Copies of this chain bind each other. A is one copy, B any other.
Amino acid sequence: MKQTSSWASFAGKLAVYEHASDVCQCPMTFAVYTPPQASQGPVPVLWYLSGLTCNWSNVMEKSGIQRAAAEHGLMVIAPDTSPRGDDVADDDAYDLGQGAGFYLTATQAPWSKHYRMDQYILDELTPLVAERFPADMRRQGITGHSMGGHGALTLHLKHADRFRSVSAFSPCSSPSEAPWGQKAFGAYLGDDREAWKAYDAEHLVRAQPSKATILIDTGNADPFLDEQLMPQRFIDACEAAGQSVESRLQPGYDHSYYFIASLIDQHVAHHAQVLKSVPGSRF
């Protein structure tokens, strides 16, 4: 693992790292914001999963998350959205291939060789963070935007003992019913919709709700609201399953980072409150 760049940010440090990934079989890049509190000992970890076309830089440049993380003493980890490189399968469309990994393990050629973003985060990046950074891994939360909101919800629901707090901005929470998800799942997982269920938050929450309260914000001026995001479907599934959820439609906001920036303080505060309450915390 090598650090490729770093900046002082809100009295902490933002740095970008590159490492050779065994899971993705290509070099992978991620960013870590370490808050000033980490100089006193390990701090809780907030994972931020980005949306289509993004990499670590969108959230770190545009969301203001470092400000909130420094206020609450959280580390922020921003993985990339897919494997990348000349040898990695790709597609000309913005919503398939590089930049569109959908936080799943592809089973179909040509994607199955490199596209394993959930395994990468769970089995490779997590131990790397635990080993190399002052991270209190008993206290991890997860959030994300759009495709990354899908990633945050599904990773939380499948690993609620690990990602104890969860929130999402404009998540694609019913991907099996949305054009983005149908296209990506069909390509990465094949036509058998049974295989899609393991990556569909609406299905997962019906099957295995968590004890957390899921915080979701979506702009009511989001151009993807009705066709891709459909937040009410996920709310209905949560209510049917007994999952605590606070899903809000925010007036006037769209799908941009201006929206995320406007709500990031509330999301980070939500994570901090949950993670502080984890027993045994030295936070």
Contacts and interface: CB of A to CB of B under 8 A. Distances in A.
A61 B61 contact: yes
Interface residues of A, number: 24
A55 to B, nearest CB: 15
Interface in A218-276: 219, 221, 250-254, 256-259, 261-262
Interface in A55-70: 61-62, 64, 66-67
Interface stretch (A2-10, A115-123, A135-143, A202-210): A2-10
A184 interface: no
A58 to B, nearest CB: 10
A196 to B, nearest CB: 33
Contact of A254 (B7, B67, B251, B259): B7
Contacts of A262: 8-11, 66-67
A237 to B, nearest CB: 28
Determine chain A's interface SS by DSSP, over half rule.
mixed
A14 interface: yes
Contacts of A256: 7
A22 to B, nearest CB: 31
Contacts of A254: 7-8
Contacts of A259: 7-8
Nearest to A219: B8
A134 to B, nearest CB: 17
Considering the complex of A and B, which 5 residue pairs feature the smallest CB-CB distances, nearest first? A8-B252, A7-B258, A9-B258, A64-B64, A8-B253
Interface of A: 7-11, 14, 61-62, 64, 66-67, 219, 221, 250-254, 256-259, 261-262
